[in-house]
Amino acid sequence: MPVLNLFPALEPLLPKVSKPIQYVGGELNAQVTDWDSVAVHWALMYPDAYEVGLPNQGVQILYEVLNERDDTLAERTYAVWPDLEALLREHGISQFTVDAHRPVAAFDLLGVSFSTELGYTNLLTALDLAGIPLHAADRDESHPIVVAGGHAAFNPEPIADFVDAAVLGDGEQVVGTITDIVRDWKQEGRPGGRAELLVRLAATGGVYVPQCYDVSYLPDGRIESILPNRPGVPERVTKHTVLNLDEWPYPKAPLVPLAESVHERMSVEIFRGCTRGCRFCQAGMITRPVRERSIETVGEMVDRGLRATGFEEVGLLSLSSADHSEIGEMAKQLADRYEHDKISLSLPSTRVDAFNIDLANEFSRSGRRSGLTFAPEGGSERLRRVINKMVSKDDLIRTVSTAYAQGWRQVKLYFMCGLPTETDEDVLEIAEMAHDVIRAGREATGSKDIRCTVSIGGFVPKPHTPFQWASQCAPDVVDDRLRKLRAAINADRSLGRNVGMRYHDGEPSLIEGLLSRGDRRVGAVIEAVWRDGGRFDGWSEHFSFQRWVDCAASAGVDVGWYTTRERDADEVLPWDHLDSGLDKQWLWDDWQDAMAEFEQDDCRWTPCFDCGVCSNLGTDIQVGPTGRSLLPLVPRG
């Protein structure tokens, strides 16, 4: 059956919208496959604007993995801005893919990658524009299976009504399993209709199908139980873990957009997972165990990726890149390799120790030394013990002094506000730290021209972390603490004028908290907000706190109950049936340790502390050093 190309209808609308280039596709390394030559069709969506969604590694990896299969094609779709949304509605044009401009409803599957819960309303826009019923229960065989993935999928309950399935963890292998099941079901003549397909997916134990589970509630509103409602469906759904990253060197040929995007670089993930154990960090908890990519594979991916893209910057990504067992050699050898090619290297720098400065110097060998970023996260030593971020102020000041002495001009410090047990005093210590940084910089350089930027985010308790039971701090408390902090920074004018402070209001964090730890009853709020015009909630110019509060009230949902209420040990949490590998008892013990200001080591360097992941999932940490080196160089040019 020929599938419509929507581009001729779309084209006359494009001169009327902002940045039309984001809707035309045709990126370097984009792929278009003949529709009728394959059995299974995937539309992959990143539910935010193209400029944010295009660089997303998850989507790019799955796009390549799926398109490499002979029986499958994958195309991409992104959230359209309200200007185009209005025109699409006016002209009756559906949500489209940017690759071949096919209508999203024509695909067998719509995979949506949620890095953040604030993309939920954008999913509804896309479904509605595509002509797919918003509620999974209203869909039939003609509609795509809507699958959620990404970190937010570790608690998909708030969007349980809107998605057919959710997948936890690494997507590389499970997309293959899903594709096989859909292909076989189609080839068999779609036996049992959509319901049977969903049960076949659920029966794998690795695909969560919300419709196959019933939630019951206690009189006080807490969850009583979440149980399978039909035979053949497992009680718990397990996350996926790719065990040898060297066997999955994706993306091989990253997409290069014509439009400007948020990350204009060639990114290589040097390891997955993190066992630093920061208690606020959902990513660190749900991506365990640590699995390193070898220095050889990294060297190969960088070389191949640069040739395929022409990017001038390489980013070595992971949750804490300086922790790779061979990061020093990797940085030195890459810097040697690309010294004469005007290619710069970057890595998210999070640890505060001397090694980091050596590394940063390697990365900026012949380039600018503009800014270094550190993330102490908590303002006081006490609070850093609570969150298990083991950084002392002395270490930080020592590191910063070295950095300034070696030519770095600016230091950025990341913190969170609203952490469990936090008081005004903890936050005010940030001002002291910033002042000390300026003093140390002036002393090291003999110059007054020293900058320090303090960047502060609101803390949101996340599922599958030791803080999943915590009370979220109310927005007015956060806002008040940040006001006091600003005053404290500026109390010493000579130091304060060299300190910049960046923060956001506390209100969006509260809504993020509602969506993070919400259950199925929160879905009604998302739908009401969307019907009232809610779009692009991750963008401050589009986000409306009042709209969320009003819609929650009219849906009978108490925002405070979901956010600022502390949970007990015995409460059934909405995600208890979704297995991240972490033992609930271990998480609880770690939560108690946090209250006792007791730190937990990293299992890469100290014995296993039984978080449960490796024993529950049959995995193990994979770290070097391998003692090998980057592949020998083929000279460029």
* Residues at the contact surface with other proteins, assessed by CB under 8 A: 7, 11-12, 14-16, 19-21, 23-28, 256, 258-260, 264, 306-312, 341-342, 365-369, 407, 445-447, 636-637
Nearest distance, CB of residue 535 and other proteins, angstroms:
23
**Residue closer to other proteins, measured from CB, 31 or 318:** 31
Q: How far is CA 102 from the centre of its chain?
A: 27
For tokens 């009978």, name the residue. 556
Who's near 8: CB < 8 A, 6+ residues apart? none
Beta strands 313-317; 266-269: pairing state: parallel
Q: Which is nearer to other proteins, 192 or 407 (CB)?
A: 407
Amino acid at position 406, single letter: Q
Compute φ and ψ for 109, nearest 5 degrees. Answer: -135, 145
- Separation of alpha carbons 403 and 357, rounded Å: 6
Q: Whole-number minimum distance, CB 101 to other proteins, in Å? A: 9
Output 118 or 357, the one with its CB closest to other proteins: 357
Instruction: Name the residue nearer to other proteins (CB basis): 45 or 306.
Output: 306
What is the nearest approach in angstroms of other proteins to the Cβ of residue 41? 22
Q: How far is the CB of 425 from other proteins (least distance, A)?
A: 35
Closer residue to other proteins (CB): 93 or 259? 259
Helix (H, G, I), strand (E, B) or coil at 169: strand
The distance of closest approach from Cβ of residue 76 to other proteins in the complex, given in angstroms and rounded to an integer, is 15
Rounded to whole angstroms, the Cα distance separating 118 from 294 reads 35
Closest CA to 591 of 422, 459, 465, 473: 465
Return the number of other C-beta atoms located less than 10 Å from residue 217's C-beta. Answer: 14
User: Interior CA angle at 194 toward 188 and 195, to 5°?
Assistant: 110
What is the chain's Cα-based Rg?
25
Query: How far apart are alpha carbons 281 and 511 in whole angstroms?
Result: 18
End-to-end Cα spacing for the chain? 47
Pick 448 or 628: Cβ nearer other proteins: 448
In the bound state with other proteins, the residue whose beta carbon lies nearer, of 311 and 548, is 311
Cβ 287 to other proteins, closest distance in Å? 31
Q: What share of the chain is helix, strand, coil (3-state, %, to 5)?
A: 40, 15, 45
In this structure, which amino acid lies at residue 465? T
C-beta of 99: minimal distance to other proteins in Å? Answer: 12
Q: Rounded to the nearest whole angstrom, what is the least distance from the CB of residue 260 to other proteins in the complex? A: 7
Taking the least distance from each CB to other proteins, the nearer of 300 and 579 is: 300
Instruction: Using alpha carbons, select from 309, 304, 298 the residue that is nearest to residue 331.
Output: 298
